[in-house]
Amino acid sequence: MFLVQAFVAAGALLVDLAILGDTVGALADVGIYHRYASYILNGQLPYRDFRIEYPPLAAPLFLLPRLFTQDRVPYAILFAGQLSEKAGMLS
């Protein structure tokens, strides 16, 4: 089920980017999460070395997709798939 949700999320994101570009900020927040994850991978600690506006347990959610890619768009696809998988667990 996760793969279906990940493909649907990835497809929706790609269609959005293809039609609208990033003019609506489709990657704006995800870009922030990507930056936070990059800081952590570079050895910086949240709250001590950089300001993060999310609770501490959000950091692993930002970090997990970043372990698989350095680029922002694949990160956004993996992040969306991760969230849709978590939402599926709740329903």
Q: Does pLDDT of 19 surpass 60?
A: no
Which class for 61: exposed (0-12), middle (13-18), buried (19 or more C-beta within 10 A)? middle
Greater pLDDT, 80 or 4: 80
- pLDDT at 31 (0 to 100): 87
34-69 per-position pLDDT tens digit: 999 999 999 999 999 999 999 999 999 999 999 999
- Verdict on whether the full-model pTM lies above 0.75: no
Residue 74: its pLDDT value, please? 86
- The yes-or-no verdict on residue 15 having pLDDT over 90 is no
